[in-house]
């Protein structure tokens, strides 16, 4: 009798709740965005080129949110090619459906739209979004995301007098399609033509400050291929945040920001009232490129003078030492009132070690990039949808191994299986003499160590198991290793990729399928009702499967 009741009313209740749930959580505020994607002429380096604009803007409009906000972003693709946006560093809890990469979402066809329903659950910090398909990112379409703490959660520094976003990155005057053509033909990208700060070349962007006040600068490296160093003439930088972690407030003359990474710094305008250079220059690159902007004191009596301050170029140990010194402030709050340090990651037992080694092979006469001897090939259907609809023959679990295997590189749609709630150690081993930057979607990890040379079990003795920073993008120095600890607490199909866009495009990426046998909505959201279907998923219905053994429903876990 009871069993009967259950089987009758549970699905009904599920349907009722799902209509509430379909856009995340009812209790948390919503922010709505309508974004029109078009081509438009831009000439950031003085050369006219075809840019990707959002609502007519390059860079795109910022997303300014507060922890737990629901972000409803309706994206209209008015380009003549398929388009997707992804959200660099947003954790997308239970929601790889909205991650916006080719392994999770069907592209938005030209002339069509798709409404992303995101929730910035339990996050604070500085992030950005960008177009994920082809080489679109080389044409723009990126913008800033910030997630402020909720009003009652303490922030470990006084409210700044103002905030500025700095989107900095290398830039090519060749069109995104020309760059894609070079890669498709098996060539290497040329040296970038310059750096942009907020879509501008040198001296064309001004940040205005009042003397005596302190400002927060949120810096993201949105570039395609190079690390940058950031500095401000005559001023110190106080690092306060790294991708959502409040850091120890170390003071620097300059800060390295690798591809895909974000930081907040505090700057106090405590110098003579004049104008100063704000400088970004490339790191670990054969040719040093630089861009300057102006820090303008409101009461300035003099325009910029002297040379822009020089920065480090190849000094690896300098960078490594700075990276090791960027640590969590264990007593500061994160997105929740309890201290960041209350999760003792160093005391959790590792259930698995994954060693990921990058390489740059030539396959069939063409340049490819690979990890553990597999160079990723996209499928004709998002892997997440293939998984959901049980469409066989799209990918094979285990098509990428847990350690380097030393065999010739093969091209595959590589997916690694992982268990929900396992706690893994990942070692990025970089045998190449170029700097690597790795990004993981859907996961936040602890950076436990990095060093020159080859990692071995003995390297664990130098791990920082106390106050390593949590983030989603980490650098690996040339001929060096970086180790992270990662609680796999987010079910989904997640992209693991090089943040160097040429490398990811030519195969230095794979998917991590974090799985559980339970289909509880507490572990994973249902497929969105508006999910776009494509390839072998065409004609399937977005049916919602509910695990009837689930005892409780929680709208706000
Ligand atoms: C496209 O936009 C309309 C509103 O203009 C919205 O109702 C619809 O759900 C959107 N389509 C998708 C697939 O999200
Ligand atoms: C860490 O955070 C605490 C609490 O907000 C703050 O008082 C302290 O100054 C911070 N310490 C450092 C070194 O940043
Ligand atoms: C970790 O493993 C050790 C040894 O097997 C065990 O004694 C300890 O209780 C485990 N710790 C946790 C937090 O599970």
User: H or E element: which one contains 10?
Assistant: helix 2-21
Q: Which residues contact 303 (CB under 8 A, 6 or more apart)?
A: 274, 275
Residue whose entry in the numeric block shows the structure tokens 């003795």: 461
Which pLDDT belongs to residue 204?
82
Going from N- to C-terminal start, the domains of the chain cover 2-155+524-554, 162-315, 344-515
Closest ligand to C-alpha of residue 72 is 1
| pLDDT tens sequence across 145-177 | 999 999 999 999 999 999 999 999 999 999 999
Q: What is the mean pLDDT of the chain?
A: 92
Q: Is residue 23's pLDDT more than 50?
A: no
User: H or E element: which one contains 53?
Assistant: strand 49-54
- Using 50, 70 and 90 to split pLDDT, how confident is the model at 507? very high
Q: Is residue 4's pLDDT more than 70?
A: no
| pLDDT tens sequence across 61-99 | 999 999 999 999 999 999 999 999 999 999 999 999 999
Which pLDDT belongs to residue 203?
80
Q: Answer yes or no: are the C-beta atoms of 302 and 275 closer than 8 Å.
A: yes
Which pLDDT belongs to residue 541?
73
Q: Answer yes or no: are the C-beta atoms of 389 and 493 closer than 8 Å.
A: no
Of all protein residues, whose CA lies closest to atom 12 belonging to ligand 2?
248
Is 339 close to ligand 2, i.e. is its CB under 6 Å away?
no
Q: What distance in Å separates the CA atoms of residue 490 and residue 91, rounded to the nearest whole number?
A: 8
Q: Which fold has domain 344-515?
A: Immunoglobulin-like (2.60.40)
Q: What distance in Å separates the CA atoms of residue 185 and residue 210, rounded to the nearest whole number?
A: 52
Instruction: Tell me, in angstroms, the distance from the centre of ligand 3 to residue 349's CA.
Output: 6
Q: What distance in Å separates the CA atoms of residue 160 and residue 50, rounded to the nearest whole number?
A: 37
- Using 50, 70 and 90 to split pLDDT, how confident is the model at 100? very high
Q: Which two tokens stand for residue 515?
A: 């799985």
Q: What distance in Å separates the CA atoms of residue 90 and residue 126, rounded to the nearest whole number?
A: 9
Q: Is residue 20's pLDDT more than 50?
A: no
Q: What distance in Å separates the CA atoms of residue 536 and residue 538, rounded to the nearest whole number?
A: 6
Q: How far is CA 414 from CA 85, 199, 505, in A?
A: 22, 35, 14
Which atom of ligand 2 is closest in space to residue 240's alpha carbon? 14
- Using 50, 70 and 90 to split pLDDT, how confident is the model at 540? confident
Of all protein residues, whose CA lies closest to atom 11 belonging to ligand 1?
114
162-315 has the same fold as 2-155+524-554:
yes
Residue whose entry in the numeric block shows the structure tokens 């620097």: 252
| pLDDT tens sequence across 259-312 | 999 999 999 999 999 999 999 999 999 899 999 999 999 999 999 999 999 999
Q: Which fold has domain 2-155+524-554?
A: Immunoglobulin-like (2.60.40)
Averaged pLDDT, 407-424: 97
Q: Which CATH superfamily hosts domain 162-315? A: Cupredoxins -  blue copper proteins (2.60.40.420)
Q: Which residues contact 512 (CB under 8 A, 6 or more apart)?
A: 415, 416, 418, 440, 443, 488, 493, 494, 495, 496
Which atom of ligand 2 is closest in space to residue 329's alpha carbon? 1
Which pLDDT belongs to residue 26?
59
| pLDDT tens sequence across 347-390 | 999 999 999 999 999 999 999 999 999 999 999 999 999 999 99
Which pLDDT belongs to residue 520?
83
């Amino acid at each position: 009798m009871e069993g009967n009741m259950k089987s009758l009313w549970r699905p009904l209740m599920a349907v009722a709740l799902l209509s509430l749930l379909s856009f995340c959580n009812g209790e948390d505020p919503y922010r709505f965005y309508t974004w029109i994607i078009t081509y438009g002429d831009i000439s950031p380096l003085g050369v006219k080129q075809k840019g990707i604009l959002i609502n007519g803007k390059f860079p795109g409009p910022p997303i300014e949110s507060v922890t737990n906000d629901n972000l409803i972003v309706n994206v209209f693709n008015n380009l003549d090619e398929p388009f997707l946006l992804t959200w660099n560093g947003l954790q997308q809890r239970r929601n790889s459906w909205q991650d916006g990469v080719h392994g999770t979402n069907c592209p938005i066809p030209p002339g069509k739209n798709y409404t992303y329903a995101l929730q910035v659950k339990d996050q604070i910090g500085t992030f950005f979004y960008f177009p994920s398909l082809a080489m679109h990112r080389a044409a723009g379409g990126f913008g800033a995301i910030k997630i402020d703490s909720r009003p009652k959660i303490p922030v470990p520094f006084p409210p700044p007098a103002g905030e500025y976003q700095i989107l900095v990155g290398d830039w090519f005057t060749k069109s995104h399609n020309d760059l894609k053509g070079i890669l498709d033909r098996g060539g290497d990208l040329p040296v970038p033509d310059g750096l942009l700060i907020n879509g501008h070349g040198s001296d064309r962007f001004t940040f205005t400050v009042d003397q005596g006040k302190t400002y927060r600068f949120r810096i993201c490296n949105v570039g395609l291929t190079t690390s940058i160093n950031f500095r401000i003439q005559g001023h110190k930088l106080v690092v306060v945040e790294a991708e959502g972690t409040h850091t120890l407030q170390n003071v620097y003359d300059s800060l390295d920001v690798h591809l895909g990474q974000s930081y907040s710094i505090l700057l106090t305008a405590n110098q003579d009232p004049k104008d100063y250079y704000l400088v970004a220059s490339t790191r670990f690159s054969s040719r040093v490129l630089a861009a300057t902007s102006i820090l303008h004191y409101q009461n300035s009596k003099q325009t910029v003078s002297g040379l822009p301050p020089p920065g480090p170029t190849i000094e690896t140990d300098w960078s490594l030492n700075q990276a090791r010194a960027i640590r969590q402030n264990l007593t500061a709050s994160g997105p929740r009132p309890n201290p960041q340090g209350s999760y003792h990651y160093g005391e959790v037992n590792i259930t698995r070690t994954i060693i990921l080694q990058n390489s740059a092979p030539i396959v069939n006469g063409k340049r490819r990039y690979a990890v553990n001897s597999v160079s990723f090939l996209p499928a004709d259907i998002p892997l997440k949808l293939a998984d959901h609809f049980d469409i066989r023959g799209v990918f094979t679990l285990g098509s990428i191994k847990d350690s380097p295997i030393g065999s010739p590189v093969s091209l595959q749609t590589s997916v690694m299986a992982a268990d929900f709630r396992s706690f893994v150690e990942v070692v990025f081993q970089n045998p190449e003499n170029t700097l690597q930057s790795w990004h993981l979607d859907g996961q936040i990890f602890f950076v436990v160590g990095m060093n020159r040379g080859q990692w071995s079990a003995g390297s664990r003795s130098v791990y920082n198991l106390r106050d390593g920073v949590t983030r989603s993008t980490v650098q690996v120095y040339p001929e060096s290793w970086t180790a992270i600890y990662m609680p796999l607490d987010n079910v989904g199909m997640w992209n693991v990729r090089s943040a160097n866009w040429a490398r990811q495009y030519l195969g230095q990426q794979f998917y991590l399928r974090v799985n559980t046998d339970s289909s509880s909505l507490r572990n994973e959201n249902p497929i969105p009702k508006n999910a776009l279907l494509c390839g072998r998923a065409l004609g399937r219905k977005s049916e919602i499967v509910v695990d009837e053994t689930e005892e409780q429903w929680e709208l706000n876990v």
